[in-house]
Structure 1
Amino acid sequence: MRQTILFVTLGSLFSILSLNAQNGQNTFTIDTQLRSRAEYRNGALSPRSEGDHPAFFINNRARFSLGYQRERLQMKLSAQHVGVWGQDPQIDRNGRFALNEAWAKIDLGKGLFAQLGRQPLVYDDERLLGSLDWNVAGRFHDALKLGYKREQHQVHLVLAFNQNDEKVKETYYAVGGQPYKTMQTLWYNGQYGTHLNASILFMNIGLETGEPGTDTKKQRGKTTYMQTAGTYITYTSGKWLLSGSGYYQFGKKRVGRIDEPRTVSAYMLGLKADYEINRQWSVSLLSDYLSGDPDSEKVTTFDPLYGTHHKFYGGMDYFYASAYNKGLWDKQLGLTFRPKASLVCSLNYHHFSTTYDVKAVDRSEGRSIGSEIDLQTDYTIAKDVKITLGYSIMLGTKYMDAIKGGNHNAWQDWGWLSININPRILFAKW
């Protein structure tokens, strides 16, 4: 009886809020998401060896998000449970349910704002900072974001400082939560006319290099800093969309022994051209060059940091999304077909090569490591229900074996089927 009264009361309250005038000062939303993805892996992330059997599993994301907004204040709380079907017991008293977002944004007036808490950091094309939505868990940061926006220009300053616990002394940070100890990012974006949009980004990452112990000097939490600076530019002209990015990394980074950081000098260049043939067909051409030479005395391997790597370097995630810390040149040709608004089909061809000479088992040297073909179909059943089907193959060379292992003569492929259901179940103003 008490449960019935509670549900009736809540239902009446939500109905009253929903029916109130739409010019209210307070907005409350409830959003949900259930995303299940079945994957067949027969050489995904790393090449398989001859005789290795394929893997098959289904992962799942369940999210529940509360949003609140009024004049000069916005808040969001979002909790999620992620995992693989069968990973948790039927009777589970220690379920994994955690906050993936918990932030408040305060309007300070005159175009200024402050956003504090656990939040995604998504900038430009997500090359260096992205939501990583492909991953079942996503990517989130604990940070303070300060911003200013005026007409067609905006500036953000992001600040973060991480620790493992509430300590009594010292600031040594053993990586296990966030991958960095400190982070400061300055980002500017401007819209110039109707065709040109440009961003400039500077990021300073502090990484722990000391180690805890009895020696006082080692306990102090020594930090080295690596900087990344660059730009992302887009230009539209008729049926063309041209985009380019360029970043340079410098400073210090730990490699090998944690108390011996090395000088960093690395860069990346990316160029992409999209052309809309008609309302149904479009093509794209892309070239991404990320420096890296494992034999260099300096750290010359460009680190794409905390971006959405799955978006750029092939669907099978051989590079950066999995273990790979060397240079890469990715050439890509894409074709997209939209027969109707609810259906999108894409075909992408990648050719990968290293930026340094690779020595194969037969002692020959080369740089071409393989080609990847990605197929994907997205079908929108309803405004908040979408099914996606994907299939990829990797045609590696003997030089792929040298850098990633496995056997390039073995067939490498990967397929997946995903359903994403994300309705907004309540929107109220009062």
Structure 2
Amino acid sequence: MCFSSIDYYGIVFVLLLMLPTTVLSQVTIEGEFRPRTEYRNGYRQLRTTATEPAFFTSQRTRLSLQYQSENYKVKVAGQDVRVWGEVNQLQDNSNVNIHEAWARINLSEMIQLKMGRQELVYGSQRLLGSVNWTQQARSHDALVLKFQQPQAHFSVDIGGAYNQEAENVFGNTYGLNNYKILSYAWLQKGFGSWNMSALFLTDGFEPQPDATNFRYTTGGHLAYGNQPWKFSGSAYYQSGDDLTRNNISAYMFEFKGSYSWASFRLEGGYDYLSGGKASDTNPARHTFNTLYATNHKFYGHMDYFLNIPTDTQGGGLQDLHLGTNYEMTNKADLGLTYHYFALANELPNFQNSGQSTEQYLGSEFDLSFAYQFSEDISFKLGYSMMLSTSSMDRLQGRNGKESQQWGWVMLQISPDFEK
């Protein structure tokens, strides 16, 4: 749903003026102003001798309205996402869209029903996340039944979605590049310093009218946290049929750990996502798909592997990462992470080049700095470099230079208008 920014923010303002004081005490109004300037010279795609660096500023502006009573809670969040200068001056373009619009009904003290456009965020966002780094972020039109037992540190979410393009008179053909059907169950239980969760997810796609293929993803996550040590690990398996991938049999696993002392934290880990094998008649069926994850958190800030398996051409991915974080003050911290990227399997005669694609793809270094001016204002900047290989060139079909670079700076102001 899109309309002009004047329409959305004007409607919210008028509604607030009409509300009595007793109602306003139950209303929460929050905003976000987030401009980000980027210098791209190798972000997402390898730079070559023919490419020129890109420099621009994008901006996300959000305004959310929440009303909560004893029996229910409602939230509506509109956002305007744009690049500075993309619209002609004096031109009125519709840029605002609804990011969230949901209602949560309290069926009992422990059971809630949440319906409408909403973010689905679970665990570390390995498979279901908000993708908040992108200015538009991700939300779903879904129905979620929630069960929570806080004293036992136990919770269960059961959710589902059924997508349509329009109010059809006949038929249910869905042609957009989204899932047609989504259903999942997520269970979480805490045991002192331990926390475990399990996810059972099914998503269905319509490769041709009135024919839905289903993919099944099952697995879990285990975490331990007791200063100064923290450990966690996940494992997931995929089966079913997705588009042309008959009899999917793919998997992924990851583990990581960290140790903190004084103002320093050291961390490291390893991710493995299965890929296709040349000896298989249908190698794509062995390629793990990360579904609706926030991959920017995991596989390097330069987002070369944002869309898996597409970005690895079905070859899977290995990511060995080491990092450190230094808390300079209680308001500022500095981080540096190294990624060693490799395919899970070698891809021979890749893209008819006559050469095999060796597994090692490149090394990435991500440097970041964050400063919290106040509770509402934060400032962040980062610089990343990728040292790519000839295998990465063949993966993208480009004659890339040896080093790729990307820098960014971002200001975030998140006012709570009720304070």
Rg comparison, structure with higher value: 1
Q: How is 1:22-421 mapped onto 2 (pairs within 5 angstroms)?
A: 27-150=26-149, 151=151, 152-176=153-177, 179-192=178-191, 194-211=192-209, 221-255=210-244, 261-278=245-262, 280-293=263-276, 295=278, 296=280, 297=282, 299-321=285-307, 323-324=310-311, 325-326=313-314, 327-359=316-348, 363=355, 365-421=357-413
**Counterpart Cα distance in 2 of 1:125 and 1:239:** 20
| Alpha-carbon contact 2:114-2:144 (below 8 Å) kept | yes
Describe the superposition over 1:350-371 as per-residue Cα deviations: whole angstroms up to 9, x where unpaired: 0000011144768355211100
Which protein has greater RCO, CA pairs closer than 8 Å, 6+ apart?
1
Shift of 1:98: 1.1
**Counterpart Cα distance in 1 of 2:16 and 2:382:** 42
**Counterpart Cα distance in 2 of 1:272 and 1:343:** 24
**Counterpart Cα distance in 1 of 2:325 and 2:145:** 38
**Counterpart Cα distance in 2 of 1:184 and 1:120:** 15
Q: Taking structure 2 as the reference length, what is the TM-score of the superposition?
A: 0.90
Q: Report the aligned-residue RMSD.
A: 2.2
Letter in 2 for 1:118: R
Secondary structure of 1:400 counterpart: helix
**Counterpart Cα distance in 2 of 1:34 and 1:365:** 44
**Counterpart Cα distance in 2 of 1:242 and 1:405:** 38
Shift of 1:238: 3.3
Q: Taking structure 1 as the reference length, what is the TM-score of the superposition?
A: 0.88
**Unaligned stretches of 5+ residues in structure 2:** 1-12
| Alpha-carbon contact 2:388-2:403 (below 8 Å) kept | no
| Alpha-carbon contact 2:158-2:185 (below 8 Å) kept | yes
Shift of 1:52: 1.1
Secondary structure of 1:87 counterpart: coil
**Counterpart Cα distance in 2 of 1:147 and 1:17:** 29
**Counterpart Cα distance in 2 of 1:12 and 1:181:** 40
Shift of 1:243: 0.5
Q: Between Structure 1 and Structure 2, how many residues are aligned?
A: 396
Distance 1:12 1:94, change over 3 A: closer
**Counterpart Cα distance in 2 of 1:267 and 1:148:** 29
Q: Which residue of 2 aligns with 1:258?
A: none
Q: Percent identity at matched positions?
A: 36
Secondary structure of 1:310 counterpart: helix
Secondary structure of 1:209 counterpart: strand
**Counterpart Cα distance in 1 of 2:266 and 2:208:** 49
Describe the superposition over 1:266-298 as per-residue Cα deviations: whole angstroms up to 9, x where unpaired: 1000001011122x1001011000001164325
**Unaligned stretches of 5+ residues in structure 1:** 1-6, 21-25, 212-220, 256-260
**Counterpart Cα distance in 2 of 1:61 and 1:353:** 34
**Counterpart Cα distance in 1 of 2:124 and 2:16:** 41
**Counterpart Cα distance in 2 of 1:48 and 1:207:** 34
Q: Which residue of 2 aligns with 1:216?
A: none
Shift of 1:174: 0.4
Distance 1:364 1:267, change over 3 A: closer
**Counterpart Cα distance in 2 of 1:103 and 1:422:** 21
| Alpha-carbon contact 1:155-1:186 (below 8 Å) kept | yes
Shift of 1:89: 1.9
| Alpha-carbon contact 1:49-1:410 (below 8 Å) kept | no
Letter in 2 for 1:246: A
| Alpha-carbon contact 1:59-1:82 (below 8 Å) kept | yes
Secondary structure of 1:95 counterpart: coil
